[in-house]
Amino acid sequence: MSTKPKFSHVVFQTAQGEAMRNWYSTVLDGHVVFSDEVLSFVTYDEEHHRIALIHPPMEMDRKTETTAAAHHTAYTFANIDDLIARYELLRDQDILPEVCICHGITTSIYYKDPDGNFVELQIDTFENPDDATAYMEGPYYEEDSVGPAFDPEELIEKRREGMTEQQLGDRETWRNSGLGNPLEVLMGPR
């Protein structure tokens, strides 16, 4: 049997070191562990660095919507109320999501960092990963592998009215949200 490494960090090459450092520290409620002219390390948990930035003082090309590159990083909260709390904290600092999607396996809020990389804040719908896998193998994913968009303020309202985390994570709850195809936000209009 082979040993399994654990995922440790992600590194972005950026021409906006300060803006990116501040944004990731705010969104992930983290802090800068190290920073010099070339490198910055940010963490928010037990790892010594989770997000690193390489920002040598030089011109760089910006990623476009059609650049084949890493699309997003994702961070999982313990429950819907923690996810809502982070959304509200960021909203009140004018950091607003690009799109929110009820994937079925996760309830996800997508932001764009200052460079245009997406960041997904999410909760798992299923406690057991095997149940999430079974869901992906079922009819919902066969019909639509993305899921419907939802309005985060509506989600908060429904939560206040007593909807459970499971109901809020059910695609049926958002089937008629009328918010269009979320993939157009994630990938740009085709």
Backbone dihedral region for residue 34 (phi beyond 0: left; psi -120 to 50: alpha; all else: beta): beta
Query: Considering beta carbons, is residue 43 or 122 the nearer one to Fe ion?
Result: 122
Q: How many residues bind Fe ion (CB under 5 A)?
A: 2
Query: Considering beta carbons, is residue 33 or 146 the nearer one to Fe ion?
Result: 146
* Binding mask of the shown chain, residues 130 to 169, with x at each position contacting Fe ion by CB under 5 A: ----------------------------------------
Query: Considering beta carbons, is residue 14 or 122 the nearer one to Fe ion?
Result: 122
Q: How far is the CB of 106 from Fe ion (least distance, A)?
A: 7
Q: How far is the CB of 14 from Fe ion (least distance, A)?
A: 21
Residue 120 binds Fe ion, judged by CB under 5 A? yes
Query: Considering beta carbons, is residue 54 or 74 the nearer one to Fe ion?
Result: 74
How far apart are the C-alpha atoms of 135 and 179, rounded to whole Å? 23
Q: How far is the CB of 99 from Fe ion (least distance, A)?
A: 12
Q: How far is the CB of 182 from Fe ion (least distance, A)?
A: 12
Query: Considering beta carbons, is residue 44 or 75 the nearer one to Fe ion?
Result: 75
- In the region spanning residues 23 to 82, those forming contacts with Fe ion, defined by CB under 5 A, are 74
Kindly report the three-state secondary structure assignment for every residue of the chain: CCCCCCCCCEEEECCCHHHHHHHHHHHCCCEEEEECCCEEEEECCCCCCCEEEECCCCCCCCCCCCCCCCCEEEEECCCHHHHHHHHHHHHCCCCCCCEEEECCCEEEEEEECCCCCEEEEEEECCCCHHHHHHHHCCHHHHHCCCCCECCHHHHHHHHHCCCCHHHHCCHHHHCCCCCCCHHHHHHCCC
* CB burial of residue 63 (10 Å; 0-12, 13-18, 19+): middle
Q: Which residue is nearest to Fe ion (CB)?
A: 74
Residue 187 binds Fe ion, judged by CB under 5 A? no
Residue 124 binds Fe ion, judged by CB under 5 A? no
Q: How far is the CB of 33 from Fe ion (least distance, A)?
A: 25
Q: Which residues bind Fe ion (CB under 5 A)?
A: 74, 120
